[in-house]
Amino acid sequence: MPPKPKFTREKVVEVALTLVGERGMAALTARELGERLGSSARPIFTVFRNMEELTEAVREAAMRKYDAYVGVAEHYKPIFKAFGVRMVLFATEEPKLFQLLFMSGNRDEEGLSAVAEHLGSTRDLCISAIVRDYSLTQSEAKQFFEHMWVYTYGLSVLCATGMCHFDEETIGVMLGREFMGMLALMKHGNWDLPTPRVNRNFDEKCLKTENATVG
């Protein structure tokens, strides 16, 4: 009978997530994690096959934390503004986790639609609310959401890299103005902008600059 693992998967992921939240994904090594657990690295590999499996589990845990943080927006109206505010605040309060989830350049998809899909149920709730509250078609609401997400994402990146800091009230004002301006463009038939595309190289450059500054 194999010996009982010294640590559960949940405990290892919990400690690893804290480590990544403090120092970034580059700090997640078997040796460092073992020290955080008060052990050698060996017990880690009784519950994970390798570091790649652990890394994916940490990423999933980070996404659950993000979902829980922004999920409270569901109880506010307008939901999209609340969601945007929570996203920027998450980037401010948990910059390393935001970088892991949205700035790591680990995805192969091209185009904003593919990236926005990772927002899951939050994305769907926002689009449904835009259709309901502003009398737009599903297609219009989807395009509207994607363009607003670019703006929100930009604010979040500025905060996650330490380039800017906005309080909650300021974030709300900025998102509200952008939202109403873009809505006016659409209502007046001036909505002929192409769907924006994500520049992964920009994210990687931001991360390298930020890491070099911290290091």
Where in the chain do CATH 1.10.10 domains reside?
1-48
- What are 118-175's pLDDT values in tens digits? 666 778 888 898 898 888 889 888 888 888 888 999 999 999 999 999 999 999 999 9
How far is Cα 145 from Cα 127, in angstroms, rounded to an integer? 6
Matching CATH number, 1-48, of 1.10.3470, 1.10.10, 1.10.287, 3.30.300? 1.10.10
Q: What are phi and psi of 113, to 5 degrees?
A: -60, -40
Q: How far is C-alpha 119 from the chain's CA centre?
A: 8
Q: Looking at the domain that runs over 62-214, which CATH code has it been given?
A: 1.10.357
Q: Are 42 and 30 in contact (CB under 8 A)?
A: no
Task: Decide: 157 and 206 in contact? Cβ < 8 Å.
Answer: yes
Beta-strand ranges (E) seen in 75-180 are: none
Residue ranges, CATH 1.10.357, the chain: 62-214
Of all residues in the chain, what percent carry a pLDDT higher than 90?
A: 50
State the burial class of residue 99 (Cβ atoms within 10 Å of its Cβ: 0-12, 13-18, 19+): buried
Backbone angle region of 87, left / alpha / beta, with phi > 0 → left and psi within -120 to 50 → alpha:
alpha
**What is residue 213's predicted lDDT score, i.e. its pLDDT?**
46
The pLDDT of residue 86 is 94
